[in-house]
Amino acid sequence: MLSDIWQDFLKIVKEEVGSRVVETWLKAVSLEQWDIDCKTIYVKAPNLFVKEWIASKYTALFQLHLSRLLNTSEVKVIFLCQTEEKSEKKQSLTTIIPAQKSVEIDQPQFQVAKKSYHYQYGKLNPSYRFDTFVVGPNNSLSYAAAYAVTEASGTLYNPLYIYGGSGLGKTHLLHAIGNALQEREEKLVVLYQTADRFVNEFINSIRFNKYHQFQQKYRDLDVLLIDDIQFLSGKEQTQEAFFHIFNAFYDAHKQIVFSSDIFPRQIEGLAERLRSRLEWGLVTDIHKPPLETKIAILKKKAAIHGETLNDEIAEYVAHKADSNVRELEGSLIRILAYASLTKQPLSLELAQKVLAGQQAKKEEISIDFNKITHLVCKRYSYRLSDLRSTSRAKELSLVRQIAMYLMKKMTDKSLREIGIFLGRKDHSTVIHAFEKIEQTVKKDALFGSTLKALEEDILR
């Protein structure tokens, strides 16, 4: 399905160019159509500005990854713009990118994209500071704890563990801690590292016989900020190595800060002794901001860009971008960029124009786990608690697999989140369910149409 390809594409480019670009630009567009005969993919942008921006900067990315995902060696990408008339489509919007043999050009393109947009790992981001972070009821505890850590590093809350959904400011706080400590004491050796980079670093150190250097590097640090620690899940050897680093830090009263999308106990595939250590200090959470905080964040971000946002615009944007702060910021940046490039003053009309394409996508996303499981249960006369149970009764197992399949297909949630929602099932169980149902649909037309009817019910 095209929307699956699009989700996969977003995941891949997020790795490559960072989530900021994805939220700001790529999520503003969607895959409109894949014309398999002409090997042409149509990408729809909400307005001309976004279209041109993306076409000029990210065309190579689209070609590179979409040709892989679509299993074709050469793909044409045509960017369309929502505000233009359909009949004009083909003539006026001929941003036709010549087909290229992807294999030969993959490497250099990949490098260029990486160099210019990729955030440099390990370095602190100077703009993520305490004074650029807006405090609201959703994050005040985490903020206070993070700030306290900078005043009593290693002795007060060690480790500090901050968890919450994506795009809510965890990474920002980690960098803020690092920046504040670094400013206070220049000689302090602070390392910001994502857990998946840590895993790679560890694996490479083994592969290239550099484990000693790896150990030494971590031994020499004073402060360690580990982002998205849930990625250590299932990486036994890396956990082992990390366990020793943790102990050395802890014993020496050196500060460690973790972020994660879930509570320590919910991280599957983590050695018990490591899991318990994550809770040794203070565990705090971050939630989605309420409207007032969203407005305050927008105004602050605008001010950082030297602009003033009035209440009317701020409120409009806050209502439109509902999922997280990253999305909120992405919308704002698009509006500011549009105003500045078209030399127009900021106004509600302008904001509405820039964010025009956003509503439809919102509705798609609003299909949630509850709705899916509710309708699946209703159809087959089960309760949610049955789906969450460990019972493997034949029919129940199948219904559970159907629920997993639809949750994967119809939302952009991760396998892990699906597993957790259904009674902490392992993500491999969800993959298995997805594959099994997919195969059954192919073999059994009747089953396929039942499932289709169920899907339509959910979409209603």
Chain residues in the site for ligand ADP (CB under 6 A): 128, 133-134, 139, 166-172, 297, 325-326, 329
Q: How far is the CB of 17 from Mg ion (least distance, A)?
A: 15
Stretch that binds Mg ion, among 96-104, 163-171, 211-219, 303-311 (CB under 5 A): 163-171
Long-range contacts of 17-20 (CB under 8 A, 24+ apart): 17/58, 17/61, 17/113, 17/117, 17/118, 18/117, 18/118, 18/119, 19/167, 19/326, 20/326, 20/329, 20/330
178 or 353: CB nearest ligand ADP: 178
Q: Is 230 in the site for Mg ion (CB under 5 A)?
A: no
- Is the preceding omega at residue 159 within 30 degrees of 0, hence cis? yes
> Which listed option, Mg ion, ligand ADP, none, makes contact with residue 425 (CB within 5 to 8 Å by class)?
none
Quote the crossing angle between the two packed helices 195-207 and 236-251, to the nearest 10°: 110
Q: How far is the CB of 121 from ligand ADP (least distance, A)?
A: 14
Query: What count of Cα atoms within 13 Å lies in the side-chain half-sphere of residue 152?
Result: 9
Stretch that binds Mg ion, among 32-40, 92-100, 171-179, 316-324 (CB under 5 A): 171-179
- Angle ∠(190,16,81) on CA atoms, nearest 5: 135
> Which listed option, ligand ADP, Mg ion, none, makes contact with residue 25 (CB within 5 to 8 Å by class)?
none
> Which listed option, Mg ion, ligand ADP, none, makes contact with residue 352 (CB within 5 to 8 Å by class)?
none
User: Which of helix, strand or coil describes residue 42?
Assistant: strand
Q: How far is the CB of 328 from ligand ADP (least distance, A)?
A: 7
> Which listed option, Mg ion, ligand ADP, none, makes contact with residue 299 (CB within 5 to 8 Å by class)?
none
Q: How far is the CB of 412 from Mg ion (least distance, A)?
A: 17
Residue 393 φ/ψ region, left for φ over 0, alpha for ψ in the -120 to 50 degree band, beta for the rest: beta
Q: How far is the CB of 189 from ligand ADP (least distance, A)?
A: 23
Q: Is 34 exposed, middle or buried (0-12, 13-18, 19+ CB in 10 A)?
A: middle
**Among residues 122, 125, 128, 120, which one has the least CA distance to residue 223?**
122
Q: How far is the CB of 135 from ligand ADP (least distance, A)?
A: 7
> Which listed option, ligand ADP, Mg ion, none, makes contact with residue 65 (CB within 5 to 8 Å by class)?
none
Q: What single-letter amino acid sits at 46?
A: P
Of the candidate residues 63, 139, 171, 193, the single one contacting Mg ion (CB under 5 A): 171
Residue 424 φ/ψ region, left for φ over 0, alpha for ψ in the -120 to 50 degree band, beta for the rest: left
> Which listed option, Mg ion, ligand ADP, none, makes contact with residue 408 (CB within 5 to 8 Å by class)?
none
Q: How many residues bind Mg ion (CB under 5 A)?
A: 2
Contact between residue 243 and residue 401 where contact means Cβ atoms under 8 Å apart: no
Q: How far apart are CA 285 and CA 291, in angstroms?
A: 19
Q: How far is the CB of 295 from Mg ion (least distance, A)?
A: 23
Helices (H), 252-357: 272-278, 291-304, 311-320, 325-341, 348-354
User: Which of helix, strand or coil describes residue 256?
Assistant: strand
Q: How far apart are CA 67 and CA 166, in angstroms?
A: 28
102 or 142: CB nearest ligand ADP: 142
Q: How far is the CB of 46 from ligand ADP (least distance, A)?
A: 21
168 or 245: CB nearest ligand ADP: 168
80 or 159: CB nearest ligand ADP: 159
194 or 373: CB nearest ligand ADP: 194
> Which listed option, Mg ion, ligand ADP, none, makes contact with residue 318 (CB within 5 to 8 Å by class)?
none
Contact between residue 257 and residue 224 where contact means Cβ atoms under 8 Å apart: yes
43 or 160: CB nearest ligand ADP: 160
Report the site for Mg ion in 249-308 (rule: CB under 5 A): none
Q: How far apart are CA 281 and CA 277, in angstroms?
A: 8
Q: How far is the CB of 274 from ligand ADP (least distance, A)?
A: 21
- Angle ∠(189,195,201) on CA atoms, nearest 5: 75
**Among residues 275, 279, 271, which one has the least CA distance to residue 237?**
271
Stretch that binds Mg ion, among 166-174, 241-249, 354-362, 369-377 (CB under 5 A): 166-174
37 or 131: CB nearest ligand ADP: 131
Q: How far is the CB of 121 from Mg ion (least distance, A)?
A: 13
Helix H or strand E segment including 148: helix 140-151
166 or 215: CB nearest ligand ADP: 166
> How do beta strands 256-260 and 76-81 pair?
unpaired
Indicate the residue whose CB is closest to ligand ADP.
169
> Which listed option, ligand ADP, Mg ion, none, makes contact with residue 326 (CB within 5 to 8 Å by class)?
ligand ADP
Q: How far is the CB of 177 from ligand ADP (least distance, A)?
A: 12
Site for Mg ion, rule CB under 5 A: 170-171
